[in-house]
């Protein structure tokens, strides 16, 4: 192995994604079949359910990778990783400006992180990972079938609902006759829990259900390279036998202690402690990316959906009930056409309210979604909303 190419530090990267079209029936008439299509999804801008003119290339333009049919080749087929390299270094391998060990180091590709292969040479590969383009010694890269095997350990599977789908059923079981738990909309992404022949089980906030593969794109997400001057980590050039580590232990801090609420399901607005909705939204946004923990109320260490909005409002002197179901009856009911910043939007799991999000304006919400995504921003109708309540104003 070449010295000077591998270091031993802990790193945090962004994400490289590989895209595979899961189904084809809404695009070419195959798969589950036209008879079941109308029961599973409503399509936007498509006059006939089975359209020969439509195309399966509905992946996000921000995605990096290649497309294939996962019904045929699967998430981790070698075919999908022909132009992908994944670091197999003990900790990281350097990305250099030129193909030699004396060249300037541009970034670090940590173990399990991915890169797109631009040019595959004999000893060095020219790669692009995130915003970094440079050369990596191939001794430390898994490519093709080898990358597919490594991706099973380090990659995260998720799906994106096709952009032409305006409403897709999430069912309790793998059948069009099963109970509809909720509905999701086109363009939204969800973590994959299991993959079957015609269905994929996904996590929708803190609930789980099945969607028909014909309407979604499959993706495998890998961490990307970290630039040498990254604020997240400080690294020092070392050989494979040397160790230096600076772990990123910073997080978005909560300025208040964990909150509690009254048991009677009411909320209280203390005299003189009213707050503008803009301040409430601004406060909530600083916790984006923090973890989801079922039953939690800490905005930094972890909270669930109702714990999140409860703690946000508690910071401004408002006491909300502890569960989303109880929160869905407080405040003033408002129409979705009249949403304002700070409103709470509720969603049903099956027939019962089971999730809540905070409206931040421009058709978007911030919410503690699930353990895979944590606190995130979504369009307010990423799944079918049930009702909206106004706490302030």
Catalytic residue among 137, 167, 305, 315: 305
pLDDT one digit per residue (tens) for the chain, 393 residues = 444 565 433 333 467 777 665 543 333 323 333 334 446 777 765 432 222 233 333 333 233 333 333 443 468 888 889 999 999 999 999 999 999 999 999 999 999 999 999 999 999 999 999 999 999 999 999 999 999 999 999 998 988 898 889 899 999 999 999 999 999 998 888 999 999 989 999 999 988 999 999 999 888 989 999 998 744 433 333 222 222 233 333 334 444 333 333 333 344 444 335 579 999 999 999 999 999 999 999 999 999 999 999 999 999 999 999 999 999 999 999 999 999 999 999 999 888 999 999 999 999 999 999 988 899 999 999 999 999 999 998
Domain range enclosing 315: 277-390
Told to judge if 355 belongs to the known catalytic residues of this protein, a careful annotator would answer yes
pLDDT of residue 77: 81
Of 247, 245, 377, 368, which is closest to residue 301 (Cα–Cα)? 368
Told to judge if 315 belongs to the known catalytic residues of this protein, a careful annotator would answer no
Measured between its terminal Cα atoms, the distance across the chain in Å is 65
Indicate whether 272 belongs to any domain. Answer: no
Indicate whether 261 belongs to any domain. Answer: no
Q: How far apart are CA 235 and CA 190, in angstroms?
A: 33
Residues 361 and 311 in one domain: yes
Residues 285 and 368 in one domain: yes
Catalytic residue among 111, 137, 167, 367: 367
CATH number at residue 375: 3.90.1720.10
Residues 240 and 299 in one domain: no
pLDDT of residue 188: 87
Indicate whether 264 belongs to any domain. Answer: no
Question: In DSSP terms, which residues pair with 183 in a beta bridge?
Answer: 169
Domain final residue, candidates 197, 231, 250: 250
Residues 287 and 169 in one domain: no
Residues 214 and 346 in one domain: no
Asked if residue 44 lies in contact with residue 166, where contact means CB atoms within 8 angstroms, the answer is: yes
Residues 211 and 124 in one domain: yes
Catalytic residue among 111, 137, 303, 355: 355
Residues 122 and 229 in one domain: yes
Indicate whether 259 belongs to any domain. Answer: no
Q: How far apart are CA 200 and CA 156, in angstroms?
A: 14
Residues 16 and 129 in one domain: yes
pLDDT of residue 99: 97
Indicate whether 348 belongs to any domain. Answer: yes
Residues 243 and 307 in one domain: no
Residues 183 and 300 in one domain: no
Residues 114 and 241 in one domain: yes
Residues 287 and 244 in one domain: no
Indicate whether 154 belongs to any domain. Answer: yes
Quick one: 355 exposed, middle or buried, by C-beta within 10 A (0-12, 13-18, 19+)?
buried
Told to judge if 111 belongs to the known catalytic residues of this protein, a careful annotator would answer no
Indicate whether 266 belongs to any domain. Answer: no
Give the number of domains in the chain. Answer: 2
pLDDT of residue 42: 74
DSSP assignment of 109-150 equals EETT-EEEEEEE-SSEEEEEETTEEEEEEGGGEEETHHHHHH
Indicate whether 260 belongs to any domain. Answer: no
């Amino acid at each position: 192995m070449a010295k000077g190419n591998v270091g031993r530090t802990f790193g945090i990267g962004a994400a490289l994604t590989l895209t595979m079209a899961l189904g084809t029936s809404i695009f070419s008439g195959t798969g589950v079949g036209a008879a079941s299509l109308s029961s599973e999804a409503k399509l936007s801008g498509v006059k006939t359910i089975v359209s020969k003119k439509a195309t399966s290339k509905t992946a996000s333009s921000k995605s990096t990778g290649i497309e294939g049919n996962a019904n045929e080749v699967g998430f981790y087929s070698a075919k999908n990783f022909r132009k992908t390299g994944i670091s197999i270094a003990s900790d990281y391998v350097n990305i250099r400006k030129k193909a030699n060990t004396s060249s300037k180091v541009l970034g670090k590709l940590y173990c399990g992180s991915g890169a797109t292969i631009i040019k595959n040479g004999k000893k060095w590969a020219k790669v692009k990972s995130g915003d970094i383009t440079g050369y990596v010694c191939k001794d430390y890269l898994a490519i093709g079938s080898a990358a597919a095997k490594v991706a099973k350990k380090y990659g995260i599977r998720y799906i994106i609902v096709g952009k032409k789908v305006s409403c897709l059923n999430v069912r309790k079981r793998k059948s069009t006759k099963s109970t509809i738990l909720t509905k999701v909309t086109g363009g939204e992404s969800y973590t994959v829990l299991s993959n079957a022949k015609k269905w994929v089980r996904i996590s929708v906030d803190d609930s789980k259900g099945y969607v028909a593969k014909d309407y979604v794109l499959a993706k495998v997400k890998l961490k990307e390279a970290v630039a040498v001057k990254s604020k997240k980590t400080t690294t020092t050039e070392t050989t494979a036998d040397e160790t230096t580590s600076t772990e990123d232990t910073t997080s978005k801090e909560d300025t208040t202690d964990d909150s509690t609420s009254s048991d009677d399901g009411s909320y209280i607005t203390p005299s003189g402690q009213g707050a503008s909705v803009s301040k409430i939204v601004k406060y909530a946004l600083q916790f984006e990316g923090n973890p989801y923990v079922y039953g939690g109320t800490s905005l930094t260490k972890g909270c669930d959906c109702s714990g999140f909005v409860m703690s946000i409002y508690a910071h401004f002197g408002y006491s909300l009930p502890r569960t989303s179901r109880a929160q869905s009856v407080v405040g003033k009911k408002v129409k979705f056409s009249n949403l304002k910043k700070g409103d709470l939007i509720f969603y049903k799991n099956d027939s019962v309210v089971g999730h809540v999000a905070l409206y931040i304006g421009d058709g978007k919400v911030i919410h503690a979604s699930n353990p895979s995504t944590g606190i995130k921003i979504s369009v307010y109708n990423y799944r079918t909303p049930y009702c909206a309540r106004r706490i302030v104003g």
